[in-house]
């Protein structure tokens, strides 16, 4: 890969970047901590934990650390709620120099007391941050004492930002949810399925739930979009876990299989092709003939509503090139299929936390010459988008400014999106958004004003 490295790019990063070719002898390095000094687009351990737990609508979250950690993730996902809005608050111990010298446990105890007096919560999650990892406050002990004193769940989330990468934060969040499930001592009576790894950013969880209910499948618990503490506690009752965001939730699914004997399956409702195969996979696993028939009916019904619209956008979008930079590999794979279906060629594909088997699949799905990156930084994204001539970047909030500075169209497929991009309706919303940005007259105006530079 040395031929693509140049000034501003780190030599230590070369194995994390690959130009796709028929020769599969060289693999892509992934599932590692970020290279020091690389200014990774990835978030820290604490942020990984927070994005998973924050959508639980009636949970309280205390960030034990400097105020910056709390503000960095305050209401970080635009997750929608059909009930409580408590999760939109952010509580912090606001650690200062003096606390760092003398310890912050007293301040944390006082913060719990204040929340108990003001809100009477059922569950509090308490996050450690970088500073707490350095000074060594005993989070577990403070939480245990608070549980004894108040008789509620006060769950530590061990997530010092530097102690690993975003994936370690996902695992810390999964441990916290398992600890919450331990509160439920009711006997297990299997019923319904759990949806893991959808955060209801723009109502996606409701679309999923609607499809499942229509074919006769009851949803037992949702992780974590539009869920509640009680819902998480009853999750061990489910007969199947379906895992959408595999990066954040596979660890929980594996541990629930081990602990509660609940099987799991990875699915994706991003794009029509994957929506159809996921619905069929779930029905097949549940082994109910009526559900299998209902799924086929739903597929026909929903497809007939969107086919003509998708075809219209296909005509307007074919021939463009796209760059993808998203959190997990599952989404990148579904996006590649969606782009190809619309006649758009993915020329660069990267993820923050992709796994080896996901990158293998990405290599199978993309053309030779496509740049594939793990844990990229802005310098690399800029270089390869320019070099490969991407017309649009699909990413999240941290990629948006980069695209606009480069004069490239942008589609938010992450925290800040406003239209659901899941299922059949989501596929139309996605195509519509691509059309409005790619075919906007603004690009022609910019090109004329800059003289084509
Ligand atoms: S935990 Fe550390 S890396 Fe994460 S936001 Fe706080 S200071 Fe930054």
Q: Give the number of the atom of ligand 1 that is nearest the alpha carbon of residue 130.
A: 2
pLDDT in tens, 368-427: 999 999 999 999 999 999 999 999 999 998 899 999 999 999 999 987 788 999 999 999
Beta strands in 37-180 (DSSP E): 60-64, 91-92, 123-128, 153-157
Token pair of 33 as six digits: 């901590």
Neighbour-count burial for 212-240, b at 16+ CB within 10 Å, e otherwise: beebebebbbbbbbbbbbebbbbbbbbbb
Q: Which CATH class is domain 307-449?
A: alpha beta
Q: From ligand 1's centre to the CA of 43, what distance in Å? A: 9
Q: From ligand 1's centre to the CA of 99, what distance in Å? A: 17
- How many other CB atoms are there within 10 angstroms of residue 207's CB atom? 21
CATH topology classification for 45-181: Rossmann fold (3.40.50)
pTM: 0.92
pLDDT in tens, 136-176: 999 999 999 999 999 999 999 999 999 988 899 999 999 99
CA distance 288 to 406: 52
Which CATH number is associated with domain 193-296? Answer: 3.40.50.1980
Ligand 1 pocket: which of 33, 47, 71, 126 to mutate (most atoms within 8 A of CB): 47
Query: Which three-class secondary structure string do you get for 259-303?
Result: HHCCCEEECCCCCHHHHHHHHHHHHHHHCCHHHHHHHHHHHHHHH
Token pair of 39 as six digits: 């200014």
Residues with CB under 6 A from ligand 1: 44, 46-47, 65, 69, 72, 129-130, 161
Q: Specify the pairing of strand 60-64 against strand 17-19.
A: unpaired
What pLDDT score does 3 carry? 45
The two domains 193-296 and 307-449 share their CATH topology (first three levels equal): yes
- How many other CB atoms are there within 10 angstroms of residue 5's CB atom? 15
Q: Give the number of the atom of ligand 1 that is nearest the alpha carbon of residue 159.
A: 1
* 450 close to 232: Cβ distance less than 8 angstroms: no
Q: Which residues of the chain have pLDDT under 70?
A: 1-8, 451-453
Q: Give the number of the atom of ligand 1 that is nearest the alpha carbon of residue 129.
A: 1
What pLDDT score does 130 carry? 96
Domain spans of the chain, in order of start? 45-181, 193-296, 307-449
Closest C-alpha to 283, from 274, 275, 293, 297: 293
Residues in the chain: 453
Q: From ligand 1's centre to the CA of 130, what distance in Å? A: 6
């Amino acid at each position: 890969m040395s031929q693509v490295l140049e000034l501003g790019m780190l030599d230590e990063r070369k194995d994390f970047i690959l130009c796709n070719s028929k020769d599969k002898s060289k693999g892509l390095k992934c599932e590692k901590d970020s290279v020091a000094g690389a200014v990774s687009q990835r978030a820290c351990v604490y942020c990984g934990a927070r994005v998973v737990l924050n959508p639980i609508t009636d949970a309280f979250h205390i960030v034990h650390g400097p105020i910056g950690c709390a503000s960095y993730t305050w209401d970080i996902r635009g997750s929608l709620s059909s009930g409580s809005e408590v999760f939109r608050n952010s509580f912090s111990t606001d650690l200062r120099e003096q606390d760092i010298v003398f310890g912050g446990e007293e301040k944390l105890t006082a913060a719990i007391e204040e929340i108990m007096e003001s809100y009477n919560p059922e569950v509090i999650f308490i996050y450690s941050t970088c500073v707490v990892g350095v000074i060594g406050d005993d989070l577990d002990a403070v939480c245990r004492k608070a549980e004894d004193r108040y008789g509620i769940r006060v769950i530590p989330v061990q997530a010092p930002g530097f102690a690993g990468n975003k994936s370690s934060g996902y695992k810390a969040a999964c441990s916290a949810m398992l600890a919450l499930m331990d509160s439920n001592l009711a006997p297990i009576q299997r019923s319904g399925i759990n949806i893991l790894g959808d955060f209801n950013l723009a109502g996606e969880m409701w679309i999923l739930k609607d499809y499942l209910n229509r074919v006769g499948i009851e949803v037992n618990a949702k992780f974590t979009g539009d869920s509640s503490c009680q819902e998480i506690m009853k999750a061990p009752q489910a007969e199947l876990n379906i895992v959408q965001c595999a990066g954040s939730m596979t660890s929980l699914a594996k541990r629930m299989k081990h602990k509660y004997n609940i099987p799991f399956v990875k699915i994706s409702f991003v794009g029509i092709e994957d929506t159809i195969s996921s619905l069929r996979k779930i029905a097949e696993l549940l082994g109910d003939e009526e559900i299998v028939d209902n799924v086929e009916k739903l597929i026909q019904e929903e497809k007939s509503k969107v086919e003509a619209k998708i075809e219209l956008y296909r005509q307007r979008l074919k021939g463009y090139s796209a760059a993808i930079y998203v959190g997990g590999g599952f989404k990148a794979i579904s996006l590649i299929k969606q782009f190809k279906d619309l006649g758009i060629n993915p020329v660069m594909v990267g993820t923050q936390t992709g796994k080896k088997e996901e990158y293998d699949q990405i290599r199978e799905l993309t053309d030779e010459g496509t740049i594939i990156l793990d844990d990229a930084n802005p310098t690399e994204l800029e270089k390869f988008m320019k070099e490969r001539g991407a017309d649009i970047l699909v990413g999240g909030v941290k990629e948006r400014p980069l695209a606009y500075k480069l004069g490239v169209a942008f589609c938010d497929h992450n925290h800040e999106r406003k239209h659901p991009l899941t299922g059949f309706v989501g596929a139309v919303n996605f195509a519509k958004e691509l059309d409005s940005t790619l075919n906007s007259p603004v690009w022609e105006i910019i090109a004329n004003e800059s003289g084509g530079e």
